[in-house]
Chains A and B, each alone.
Chain A
Amino acid sequence: SQQGEEDPQALSIQEGENATMNCSYKTSINNLQWYRQNSGRGLVHLILIRSNEREKHSGRLRVTLDTSKKSSSLLITASRAADTASYFCATEGAAGNKLTFGGGTRVLVKP
């Protein structure tokens, strides 16, 4: 079963705009990881945020984590057509390397 939900399920934006997607989860976590997947290919690791961190940046990506609300958000700034993909959040709990994934957000960036 999936840990939680991602919102929205789909997002369509113009190139240059920002894209924000949210992830909620149900149980306590050690960390939360965001991944990108293009057209049913492998998952590309974007960023990991640990349970004691509140915000993290990597290039055009900004991730926040609110453990009190059991939620995270991923912001992609100045989006490009190449950002078109599905984005997944995944949580890792106390069991170690066992990721529980959300349902994903499909992002379409129109040129």
Chain B
Amino acid sequence: KAGVTQTPRYLIKTRGQQVTLSCSPISGHRSVSWYQQTPGQGLQFLFEYFSETQRNKGNFPGRFSGRQFSNSRSEMNVSTLELGDSALYLCASSLVDEQFFGPGTRLTVL
């Protein structure tokens, strides 16, 4: 069974731009969660989607948004990028409670 996939793997953007990251969960998993990892703040929860509905949300500004499609694939969007948004963005999918992570998207904001 294929694991969680994320695209793109690497991304370079400039301040003020917006970016969309994509995540395909493990087949049959309906929950998709997003996390941000930075050296300073560590791993922080962004949001979780289940059956196309946002079920949980972390403490991030409204510039961070997401959605989930009927096939459970998810996207997250960051608008008006700031230098501090440079991070590894990780997506995880879950069937029940174990969460399985993808390889991440490394976003660099210049």
Question: Which A residues form the contact surface with B (CB < 8 A)?
Answer: 2, 30-31, 33, 35, 40-45, 48, 88, 90, 92, 95-104
Binding site for A on B (CB under 8 A): 4, 31, 33, 35, 37, 42-45, 48, 50, 55-56, 58, 88, 90, 92, 94, 97-104, 106
In this complex, the member of B43, B58, B97, B102 whose beta carbon has the largest number of chain A beta carbons within 10 angstroms is B43
Q: Which residues of B contact A100 (CB under 8 A)?
A: 45
Q: What residues on B are CB-neighbors of A102 within 8 Å?
A: 42
- Interface of B: prevailing SS: strand
- Contact present for B90 and A43 (CB under 8 Å): yes
Q: In the assembly, what is the distance between CA of A46 and CA of B31, in Å?
A: 19
Please name the residue on chain A nearest to B3 by beta carbon.
Answer: A42
Given contacts A42-B90, A97-B31, A98-B58, contact A48 B97 (CB under 8 A): yes
Whether A41 touches B33, Cβ cut-off 8 Å, given contacts A97-B97, A98-B45, is no
